[in-house]
Copies of this chain bind each other. A is one copy, B any other.
Amino acid sequence: MELTNLYKCLCDVQRLRILNLLKEGPLCVCHLQEILGETQVKTSKQLQYMKKLGVVGARREGVWMVYSLPEPTHPVLLANLHCLQADTDGFGDLIGDLKKRSAILRRFAANPGECPPVVYQATDGCHG
Contact = CB atoms under 8 A, between A and B. Distances in A.
Nearest to A3: B87
Interface string A4-31: 1101101111001000000000000000
Interface in A69-97: 75-76, 79-80, 83-84, 87, 89-91
A124 interface: no
Of A1, A7, A84, the most chain B CB neighbours within 10 A belong to A7
A7 B9 CA distance: 8
A41 B89 CA distance: 33
Nearest to A8: B11
Contacts of A89: 1-3
Contact of A7 (B10, B79, B90, B91): B10
Given A2-B90, A3-B89, A79-B83, 6 more contacts: A3-B91, A4-B10, A4-B11, A10-B10, A10-B11, A11-B11
20 contacts: A1-B89, A2-B89, A3-B16, A3-B84, A3-B87, A3-B89, A4-B10, A4-B11, A4-B13, A4-B16, A7-B7, A7-B8, A7-B11, A10-B10, A75-B83, A76-B80, A76-B83, A76-B87, A79-B83, A80-B80
